Structure 1
Amino acid sequence: MGARKRLRADKTKEAKKQVSFASLSNVPTSPRKMRLVADMIRGKEVNLALDLLKYSSKEASRRVEKLLLSAIANWKEKNEGVRMEDANLVVKSINVDSARILKRLRPAPQGRAHRIKKRSNHVTIYIDSKVNNQEELKVS
């Protein structure tokens, strides 16, 4: 590994240590339905996002709510002694990627068969304090 590549890798490692995240793999919900929920909370404060997810009627919101609570717990583990209320936590980004697709056959008229695709997805959520986001914008 060259010097520039190593320095870049060290820099990204340090950046990952500062940001708290949680991920969920192979969720048996279609990515399109999960993205509707993800778009609902992207960029919102954590307490507001938890309220939106709790009172949403969508089935995918229950899974994202648990994932957000996990990300908050990961943040608390990294930042001991800092109160969550003082940090002004924000959902920095949330990614929904397509996962495996199960292919099934459904009987159709006249001896035919139709293929059914049962989609699943991966969700990754990043949270950070609003203070850190503003400092990064000033530095850039």
Structure 2
Amino acid sequence: MDTPVLEARAVQKHLRKAPRKVRLVADAVRGESVEKALKRLEFTNKASAEDVLKVIKSAAANLRDKFQEERFDNEDLYIKEIYVDEGVTLKRIQPAPQGRAHRINKRSCHITVLVAKRDQESVNE
């Protein structure tokens, strides 16, 4: 009666890329199957596509490791949740004319991916 929830997650913390730029890539693959997302990210012309790809692969591997008695293909798995949170911001100073100083914010982000097995009922519909 108690069936285990077939899902696993992976987190990449302190990635030195702005969260606004990484969210563009994450939004493109949200809700897709893992196989389709990996293919799409492979040909996406964004620097953060490689980082998102790595986290999705890690989440799929975590699911296979967590439930070793079951067999999972990438077509059976889908991205249930993917979100990009803001990390720490490194504050730097750029010298400016007339003794002033301009602030430079070097942003970072955290990528979280939750991968789950697709239900057979939702596949048939």
User: Normalised by the size of structure 2, how large is the TM-score?
Assistant: 0.87
Number of positions where the alignment pairs a residue of Structure 1 with one of Structure 2: 122
The alignment partner of 1:93 has SS state of: strand
Could you tell me which of 104, 112, 117 is aligned with 2:105?
A: 117
Q: Distance in 1 between matches of 2:16 and 2:31?
A: 25
- Map 1:1-140 → 2, pairs under 5 A: 18-85=6-73, 88-131=76-119, 134=122
The alignment partner of 2:46 has SS state of: coil
- Percent identical among aligned pairs is 39
The alignment partner of 2:107 has SS state of: strand
| 8 A contact 2:59–2:113 mirrored in 1 | yes
What is the one-letter code of the residue matched to 2:20?
Answer: R
The alignment partner of 2:112 has SS state of: strand
Change in CA separation of 1:46 and 1:133 when aligned onto 2, cut-off 3 Å: farther
Query: Which structure has the bigger radius of gyration?
Result: 1
Which residues of structure 2 form unaligned runs of 5+?
Answer: none
User: Normalised by the size of structure 1, how large is the TM-score?
Assistant: 0.78
Q: Distance in 2 between matches of 1:92 and 1:73?
A: 15
Q: Deviations over 1:7-62 (max 9, x none)?
A: xxxxxxx9996421100100000010010011011000100100111111111111
| 8 A contact 1:106–1:116 mirrored in 2 | yes
Q: Distance in 2 between matches of 1:60 and 1:133?
A: 34
| 8 A contact 1:87–1:131 mirrored in 2 | no
Higher helix share: 1
Structure of higher RCO (CA pairs closer than 8 Å, 6+ residues apart): 2
Which residues of structure 1 form unaligned runs of 5+?
Answer: 1-13, 135-140
Moved more, 58-67 or 81-90: 81-90
The alignment partner of 1:95 has SS state of: strand
